[in-house]
Amino acid sequence: MATNLLQGTLDLLILKTLALQELHGLGISHRIAQITQGTFQVKPGSLFPALHRMEESGWLESYWGESENNRRAKYYRLTVPGRAQLATETDEWQRISIAMASALEST
Partner 1 sequence: MPLLPRLSSLRRNLFDKPRVEQDLDEELRAYLEQLTDEKVRSGESYAAARRAALLELGGVEQVKEEVREIRIGNMLESILHDLRYGFRSLAKNIGFTGVVILALALGIGANTTMFSVAYGILMRPLPYPDAGRVALVYMHFSPQNFDRGTMCIADYLDWKAQNHAFEEPSIFSSRRMDLVGTGEPEQVQGALVTAGFFSTMRVPPLLGRVFLPGEDRPGAPSTAVLSEALWRRRFSASPAVIGQSIAINGASATIIGVMPDAFRFPRATTELWTNLPLVPPTRRGPFIARGVARLKHGVTIEQAQLETNTIGQRIMRENPYYRNLTLPVERLRDAIVGDVRTPLLVLIGAVGLVLLIAVVNVANLMLARATTREGEMALRLSLGAGRMRLVRQLLTESLLLSIAGGVAGLLVSYGGIQLLRSWNPGNLPLIEYVELDGRALGFMLLTAVVTGLLFGLAPAVQGMRANLNSTLKEGGRGARAGTSTARRIRTALVVSEIALSLMLMAGAGLLIRSLEHLERVTGGFAAPPRDILTIAVSPSDRKYNDAQAFRNLYEDMLERARQVPGVEAVALSDTLPPDRQEDADTFTIQGQVLVSGEQNPAVSDAIISGDYFRAMRIPLLKGRFFTPQDKQESAPVVIISDSLARHFFPGQEPLGRRIKQSGPDNQAPFMEVVGVVGDVKYTGLQKDTDAAYYMPYGQNFGRRMYVVVRTSLGAALAPALRRAVQAADPGVTLNQVETMQETLSRAVALPRFDTVLLAAFALVALLLAAVGIYGIIAYSVAQRTHEIGVRMALGAGQGSVLGMVIRQGASLALIGILLGLSGAFALTRLLSNLLFGVSSTDPLTFAAVALGLLAVALLASFIPARRATRISPVTALRYE
Residue of the chain from 10, 11, 24, 86 that contacts partner 1 (CB under 8 A): 24
Report how many residues bind partner 1 under the rule CB under 8 A: 21
Q: If you ran DSSP here, which 8-state letter would residue 12 be given?
A: H
Residue 48 touching partner 1 (CB under 8 A): yes
Residue of the chain from 16, 25, 77, 90 that contacts partner 1 (CB under 8 A): 25
Q: Which is nearer to partner 1, 57 or 97 (CB)?
A: 57
- Of 82, 36, 37, 85, the closest CA to residue 59 belongs to 82
Residue 45 touching partner 1 (CB under 8 A): yes
Helix (H) or strand (E) holding 74: strand 72-78
**In 21-107, where does DSSP find H-type helix?**
25-35, 44-56, 80-105
Give me the residues paired with residue 60 across strands: 78
Q: Which residues bind partner 1 (CB under 8 A)?
A: 24-26, 43-45, 48-49, 52-53, 55-58, 67, 69, 71-74, 81
